[in-house]
């Protein structure tokens, strides 16, 4: 499929997986991953109280590192962390309701 290799390369370079029902344009994926990365500190601040309550005290940077690669489910407004390294059991998920990752809701630790 034309453009698929470019799309996969872009995702690897930005360290973000984006899941869309319709194959997105390269610019859409790039923009979404850049917005996620630009708001990563805000995202970690949102999740930090829940993570430390369940897993104990970790520094801000440790949490950022242990989250692993996010999988952004754009259609459903969710970000999942399937490869987090706090343990080998749980999946972390939060919901977002805007394209800027500024309105975050419903963080969960499932497993």
Interval 1-35: pLDDT, tens: 445 555 555 555 556 666 554 555 677 778 888 99
Cα–Cα dist 10/34, whole Å: 11
Using a cut of 0.85, tell me whether the model's pTM lies above it. no
Residue 88: φ, ψ to 5°? -110, 20
Interval 78-95: pLDDT, tens: 999 999 999 999 999 999
Please state the domain extents for the chain: 4-110
Q: What is the mean pLDDT of residues 60-77?
A: 92
Residue 3's DSSP bridge partners are: none
Three-state DSSP class for 91? strand
Cα–Cα dist 2/100, whole Å: 28
Residue 57: φ, ψ to 5°? -80, 130
Closest by CA to 71, choosing from 54, 94, 53, is 94
- For 58, other C-beta atoms within 10 Å of its C-beta total 15
Q: What is the mean pLDDT of residues 65-79?
A: 91
pLDDT at position 13 is 57
């Amino acid at each position: 499929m034309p453009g698929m290799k470019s799309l996969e390369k872009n995702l690897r370079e930005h360290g973000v997986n984006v899941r869309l029902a319709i194959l997105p344009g390269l610019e859409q994926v790039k923009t979404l991953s850049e917005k996620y990365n630009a708001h990563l500190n805000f995202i970690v601040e949102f999740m930090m109280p829940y993570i430390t309550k369940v897993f104990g005290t970790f520094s801000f940077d440790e949490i950022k590192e242990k989250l692993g690669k996010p999988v952004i489910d754009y259609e459903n407004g969710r970000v999942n962390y399937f490869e987090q390294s706090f343990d080998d059991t749980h999946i972390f998920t939060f919901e977002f309701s805007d394209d800027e990752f500024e309105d975050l809701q419903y963080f969960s630790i499932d497993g």
